[in-house]
């Protein structure tokens, strides 16, 4: 995600998912079950391995069907976040499954066994206003960081990944969404944008990935300006860091977030960029880079936010520098503002899974810009090509899975200058105070 002003971000991110009265339901045991004695009772288990989702979403009627494939498991419980969804029923190939809706999440009883299991959930959803689900008035979805449960039953833990198939009907306009996300992706990835879009084809990379930008009427100049080097940037990412894992057609979609320069959101393969940021090469490159870090390699927990945002902020500058665009003067000014202002915070936390990101100081520009400067200085120690090679090695070792920032730090230290890199890690990421050199930036 390209960073937005904190005041704006809190306006549409800090609101919690809506609650409300909901009914609980269970299904009677049935002789069609593969275990003929009974259907297992609903029970809690947030650790089940979800392999894939099939989402069939009707925007006009706000009705949907989620087909979920689970890995085999001896446990019979499954828990999913459901926000304010209204669950109509759950079944598998043998009949109805018992479930109970507990408000924020639901528990399901799933027959145990070593083979994969497929279950189907019929439900309805509502429109949201606080950037926490389907925004009907803006005709766009927004589920980052943990609001997927307001559009489909899910697990919002950033470490969790699954593949997706999507069908969207009932749109009053052109709906841009991924029909398939073939690589394991985080829960906020399957996004929807509806509008009067025009597709501007940008060309194909040497790997055959087609790039486009989808813009609304009157945005032709902004769309062209912001994506003028996007094909070259994406080519750099593919050839430098490794193969892209989320499909063969990708690009920027203009998102109506209400005006203003609000950055973007990493909904690969069709990432969203706010209408006010559409002309920004930095935002377009930043969101594209998330195909490698943040999405391609997921973070293990929100405390590792810098592994997503710090890395891709650096990657955007690195790739654009190859086509003569220098982002570092702007980055330096942003860093100076952070270091001299209230947004300064430690960019990397020791804990894992203990914070609510949007209500924590870590949700700030600090992980973006302190992270970028950290990698800039590591490149100064190892060399830009050597850092690129290390980022490629880490990406290809972890793509489709999750990782911690400290794992990347240890890999970097193994490439030489171990003590110096550790000192940079402490100074830039693990200490709140900015390094003294930051005071000389942005004269």
Does residue 214 form part of some domain? no
Counting other chains too, the contacts that 352-356 makes at CB distance below 8 Å and 24 or more residues apart are: 352/300, 352/301, 352/303, 352/304, 352/404, 353/157, 353/301, 353/302, 353/303, 354/301, 354/303, 355/302, 355/303, 356/302
Question: Stretch 265-281: mean pLDDT, rounded?
Answer: 97
pLDDT at site 439: 79
- Both tokens of 436, joined, read 């003294």
* 106 φ/ψ angles, rounded to the nearest 5 degrees: -125, 150
pLDDT in tens, 165-192: 999 999 999 999 999 999 999 999 999 9
**Alpha-carbon span 304 to 299, nearest angstrom:** 6
pLDDT at site 125: 98
pLDDT at site 406: 98
Under 8 Å between Cβ of 225 and 231: no
pLDDT at site 277: 97
Quote the number of domains for the chain: 2
pLDDT at site 14: 32
Examine residue 51 and say whether the peptide bond preceding it is cis (omega within 30 degrees of 0): no
Question: Stretch 92-111: mean pLDDT, rounded?
Answer: 97
pLDDT at site 34: 53
**Alpha-carbon span 115 to 60, nearest angstrom:** 36
Is residue 20 predicted with pLDDT exceeding 60?
no
DSSP 3-state assignment of 402?
strand
Does residue 362 form part of some domain? yes
For residue 57, list its beta bridge partners: 64, 168
Nearest to 260 by CA among 244, 236, 277: 277
pLDDT in tens, 350-391: 999 999 999 999 999 999 999 999 999 999 999 999 999 999
pLDDT at site 214: 98
Does residue 177 form part of some domain? no
- Both tokens of 191, joined, read 């996004």
* Last residue of one domain, picked from the residues 137, 165, 193: 165
- The CATH number given to whatever domain includes residue 421 is 1.10.390.10
Counting every residue written for the chain, the total comes to 443
pLDDT at site 436: 80
pLDDT in tens, 278-304: 999 999 999 999 999 999 999 999 999
DSSP 3-state assignment of 336?
helix
pLDDT at site 2: 74
Does residue 161 form part of some domain? yes
Q: What is the mean pLDDT of the chain?
A: 92
Does residue 289 form part of some domain? no
Does residue 174 form part of some domain? no
DSSP 8-state symbol, 425: I
pLDDT in tens, 314-359: 999 999 999 999 999 999 999 999 999 888 999 999 999 999 999 9
* 395 φ/ψ angles, rounded to the nearest 5 degrees: -60, -50
- The CATH number given to whatever domain includes residue 71 is 2.60.40.1730
**Alpha-carbon span 243 to 5, nearest angstrom:** 33
Taking the CB of residue 164, how many other CB atoms lie within 10 A of it? 22
Domain extent at residue 29: 25-126+146-165
Does residue 250 form part of some domain? no
Q: In 2-21, which positions are buried (b, 16+ CB within 10 angstroms) versus exposed (e)? A: bbbeeebbeebbeeebeeee
Question: Stretch 115-136: mean pLDDT, rounded?
Answer: 97
The model's pTM: 0.92
DSSP 8-state symbol, 16: P
* Last residue of one domain, picked from the residues 165, 195, 229: 165
Question: Stretch 78-89: mean pLDDT, rounded?
Answer: 98
pLDDT at site 79: 98
- Both tokens of 64, joined, read 């949907």
**Alpha-carbon span 51 to 160, nearest angstrom:** 10
Under 8 Å between Cβ of 275 and 254: yes
pLDDT at site 35: 52
Q: Where are the alpha helices (DSSP H) in 62-151?
A: none
Instruction: Give residue 162's pLDDT band: very low, low, confident or very high (50, 70, 90).
Output: very high
Render 162-177 in DSSP notation, one character per residue.
Answer: EEEEEEEE--SSEEE-
Does residue 38 form part of some domain? yes
């Amino acid at each position: 995600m390209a960073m937005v002003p904190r005041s704006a971000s809190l306006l549409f991110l800090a609101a919690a998912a809506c609650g409300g009265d909901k009914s609980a339901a269970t299904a009677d045991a049935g002789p069609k079950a593969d275990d003929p004695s009974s259907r297992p009772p609903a029970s809690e288990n947030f650790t089940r391995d979800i392999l894939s989702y099939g989402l069939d979403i009707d925007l006009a009627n706000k009705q949907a069907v989620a087909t979920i494939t689970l890995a085999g498991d001896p446990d019979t419980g499954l828990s999913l976040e459901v926000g304010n969804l209204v669950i109509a029923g759950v079944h598998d190939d043998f009949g109805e499954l018992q479930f109970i809706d507990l408000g924020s999440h639901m528990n399901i009883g799933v027959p145990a066994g070593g083979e994969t299991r497929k279950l189907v959930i019929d439900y309805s959803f509502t429109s949201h206003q606080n950037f926490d689900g389907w925004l009907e008035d803006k005709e766009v979805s927004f589920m980052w960081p943990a609001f997927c449960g307001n559009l489909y039953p899910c697990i919002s833990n950033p470490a969790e990944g699954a593949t997706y198939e999507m069908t969207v009907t009932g749109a009053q306009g052109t709906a841009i969404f991924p029909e398939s996300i073939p690589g394991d992706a985080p829960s906020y990835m399957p996004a929807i944008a509806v509008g009067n879009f025009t597709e501007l084809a940008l060309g194909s990379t040497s790997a055959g990935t087609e790039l486009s930008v989808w813009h609304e009427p009157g945005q032709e100049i902004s769309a062209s300006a912001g994506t003028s080097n996007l094909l070259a940037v994406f080519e750099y990412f593919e050839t430098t860091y490794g193969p892209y894992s989320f499909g063969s057609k990708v690009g920027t979609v203009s998102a109506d977030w209400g005006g203003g320069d609000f950055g973007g959101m990493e909904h690969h393969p069709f990432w969203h960029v706010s209408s006010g940021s559409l002309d920004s090469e930095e935002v377009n490159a930043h969101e594209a880079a998330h195909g490698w870090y943040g999405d391609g390699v997921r973070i293990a927990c929100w405390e590792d936010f810098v592994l997503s945002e710090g890395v891709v902020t650096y990657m955007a500058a690195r790739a654009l520098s190859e086509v003569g665009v220098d982002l570092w003067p702007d980055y330096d000014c942003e860093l100076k503002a952070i270091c001299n202002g209230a947004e300064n915070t430690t960019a990397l936390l020791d804990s894992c899974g203990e914070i609510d990101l949007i209500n924590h100081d870590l949700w700030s520009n600090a992980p973006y810009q302190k992270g970028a400067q950290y990698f800039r200085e590591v490149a100064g120690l190892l060399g830009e090509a050597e850092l690129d090679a290390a980022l490629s090695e880490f990406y290809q070792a972890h793509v489709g899975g999750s990782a911690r920032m400290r794992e990347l730090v240890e890999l970097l230290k193994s490439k030489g200058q171990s003590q110096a890199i550790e000192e940079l890690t402490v100074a830039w990421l693990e200490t709140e105070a900015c390094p003294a050199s930051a005071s000389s930036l942005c004269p």
